[in-house]
Structures are given as structure tokens and as C-alpha cells.
Amino acid sequence: MNNLKKIGLTALAGSLVSFGAHAADMSVSGGAKVTYVSESGDSDSQKGNVTGSPLGFEQMLGFSGSADNDIGTISLYIGFDMRGAAASSSSLTIDMGDAGTIGIDGGTAAYGMNNKKDTLPRASGAEQAWDDTAGDAYTTGEATTGMIAYRNQIAGMNYDVVYAKNGGGNSNDDTQTAAGDDSSKTLTVWTDSLMDGLQVGAGYGKIDDTTSIDVEKQATVWAKYAVGSVTLGMQMADHNKAADDESIMMYGIAFNINDNASLSYNKREVELGDQVVSATSDHEDTGIAASYTMGGMTLSAFQNEADNVGGTAGKTDKRTQVSLSFAF
């Protein structure tokens, strides 16, 4: 997004970052999105046919700032969904150069396995194939709030180490958030240096299971390859948790028609473990999308469909959305 305005905030930067940072510039960016949605399916009464207005209107403001001190570059981001009074996401990073970056995440999903839970290529503005349907589950990743991350690169290999005490969860100063009974620990590594256009990566972690006192073990591997106007992607994941194991296969393709227009197709198949006694079929998600970008405006459309929801044969849910978004 383009900056709306830059504001010098020396005093504010000093109060937000307790490292004695000097003068900081805060830049403000904004965006708006208008959507039209239709839904169908019998899998979830909350995600069934639209009973109210299908028209949506979202407005966002983002505040970003940075300042240098003896430790490194301290950066702060705060995002506001203008439909509510509170910040919707935030992050604080400490860039120490060759010594790496420390990040404290407040909902941006910028680090770890959560950042890489679905790496498939998609048309601009499209959601993951499983998003916004009753199939919005079976995803990889640790908490995106109340966690601390360390990121660095060695010999072309990037890695994130993430730790979330007791399941994570953000709190204000001098308060606590109870988000789980176990601490999440994950390692994610990836590289783009093996050959032109290729990215490969893997992640593994022990993650707090919010529905059980047990720790959930998760693993994922992926590969993406871009050649010319086509990008191919494939990802596998395995979730080992109490009473609900999941084996996941995802693959997709995106095609850039020209510099402005793109198309994509994504597919996900979830094999539910033997513990899910009601499962008679594999859960499947399909997403098709198209987009056209011109300057700061993007027109996009996608249709996501979940089949055999939760392992029940014939149970479906479908969402179609057309969006017009603007960046300022």
C-alpha cells in the first residue's frame, strides 16, 4: 500500500519501544475492499445460504515505524480494522543484521509454520481453497499471538524458530492470557537458492492442543516452482493429535495471463485418522480464482468448495466471492 502520510513521532517511538531508540517516522497506509458473496451447502447452518445482505465493506489502516539504536533497527506495525475500535494485528521486530531478527507477533502470522501453512500459488486476492467454508480446519501452525520468533539466514537457508508459552495469546501490560496448557515450539526452514524459480521448505513442531491436554505434533514439507508465466506448488502435512490425526495433500497451479491478470486452481485432500469413527470419506477442498490488478485497484473472484465435510460423504459447502479492493 502507498503511504498516505508520514508523521515524525520521536516521543511516541520512545514510549512504544523501550530500547532508547531515537527519532522515528511513522507511515500510514490504508485500504478498502467491497465484496459480494453467495454461499450454498448443507454442512453448516452458520455458513449456509446468505440470509442478510451479500454486500460487504472492509476498511483498514496500517501504521508502520522504525528507529535505529545500538541493538539494531526496531520496527513496529499496528493494523486497525476500522469496523472495530481495537487493533486487529500488530508486530514488533528487532533487526540485528547478521545476528538475525527477533519478532513478537500480535496476529500478523508473519513467522513459523503458520506463515507457511499453505504455500500454494494463487491469483491475487484469492483465499486458500479451504478458507471461508466449513472446510476451514485441518491447518498447520502455532499461535500467531503471544509468541516470540527468531529468524535468520545461513548459506542461503532461511529459518524461523518460534516459541509460544502456554499456547500463546496477547495481553496488555501487567496482565496475562491463558491460551493453553502446553508451550508451542516449532522450527521452519526454506530456501530459494537451489535453482531459479524453485522454493523448497519444511517445518516441524510440538504445538499446544486447545481441545486436549496432549501436545500436538505437526510436520509439513512443500515445493514451489515458477517457470515463465506458470507457478506450480505442492505441499504435504501431517498432524498427530489426540483422537484426530490428519494427513494432508495440497497442490495447485497459477497462471499469469499478463502483467495484470492471473488465474489459479488449488486442491486439498485430508485423510482423517482412524480415531474419527464417523469419517467415511476423505475431506476435499477445491478453489478456483481469477484476478485483475490495475495500479492500486484489484478485481478478484474465487469459488471455494468443501466436499465430504468432516469425513461425511456428500456433505458440501460452497462460497463464491467477488471483491474490488483499493490500496492507498
pLDDT value of residue 16: 42
Q: How far apart are CA 70 and CA 317, in angstroms?
A: 54
What mean pLDDT is reported for the chain?
Answer: 83
Report whether pLDDT(158) > 70.
yes
Phi/psi region, residue 192 (left: phi>0; alpha: psi -120 to 50; beta: rest), is: alpha
Q: How far apart are CA 291 and CA 126, in angstroms?
A: 8
Q: Which residues contact 245 (CB under 8 A, 6 or more apart)?
A: 238, 239, 272, 273, 274, 275
Which residues are registered as beta bridge partners of 159?
152, 189
Is the alpha carbon torsion for 231, 142, 186, 63 positive or negative? positive
Q: Which three cell numbers stand for residue 62?
A: 496500517
Phi/psi region, residue 305 (left: phi>0; alpha: psi -120 to 50; beta: rest), is: beta
**Integer angstrom CA distances of residue 325 from 36, 56, 126:** 12, 11, 12
Q: Is the pTM of this model over 0.95?
A: no
Report whether pLDDT(225) > 90.
yes
* Average pLDDT estimate for 308-324: 90
Query: What is the SS3 assignment for 100?
Result: coil
**Domains contained in the chain, CATH given:** 3-327 (2.40.160.10)
Q: How far apart are CA 237 and CA 281, in angstroms?
A: 18
Q: How far apart are CA 303 and CA 266, in angstroms?
A: 11
pLDDT value of residue 6: 38
C-alpha angle with apex 171: 169 to 172, nearest 5 degrees?
165
* Average pLDDT estimate for 59-88: 83
Backbone phi, psi, residue 158, to 5°: -90, 145
Comparing 42-56, 89-103, 195-209, the range with the smallest average pLDDT is 42-56
Nearest Cα neighbor of 186 from 154, 151, 141 is 141
Which residues are registered as beta bridge partners of 104?
92, 148
Most trustworthy range by pLDDT among 87-91, 96-100, 275-279: 96-100
Report whether pLDDT(10) > 50.
no
Q: How far is C-alpha 42 from the chain's CA centre?
A: 27
Using pLDDT thresholds of 50, 70 and 90, give the confidence band for residue 258. Answer: very high
pLDDT value of residue 50: 66
pLDDT in tens, 12-64: 333 344 444 455 678 999 899 899 888 877 655 444 566 678 888 888 888 89
Q: Which three cell numbers stand for residue 41?
A: 451447502
Q: Quote the DSSP letter at residue 212.
A: S
The share of the chain scoring above pLDDT 70, in percent, equals 80
Report whether pLDDT(231) > 90.
yes
The share of the chain scoring above pLDDT 90, in percent, equals 46
Contact 128, 120 (CB under 8 A): yes
Using pLDDT thresholds of 50, 70 and 90, give the confidence band for residue 86. Answer: low
Q: Which residues contact 229 (CB under 8 A, 6 or more apart)?
A: 255, 256, 257
- Reduced 3-state DSSP string for 281-295: CCEEEEEEEEEEEEC
pLDDT value of residue 247: 93
pLDDT value of residue 4: 40
Using pLDDT thresholds of 50, 70 and 90, give the confidence band for residue 241. Answer: confident
Q: Which three cell numbers stand for residue 168?
A: 500463546
Using pLDDT thresholds of 50, 70 and 90, give the confidence band for residue 176. Answer: low
Q: How far apart are CA 105 and CA 88, in angstroms?
A: 12
Q: How far is C-alpha 17 from the chain's CA centre?
A: 26
Q: Quote the DSSP letter at residue 126.
A: P
* Average pLDDT estimate for 210-230: 88
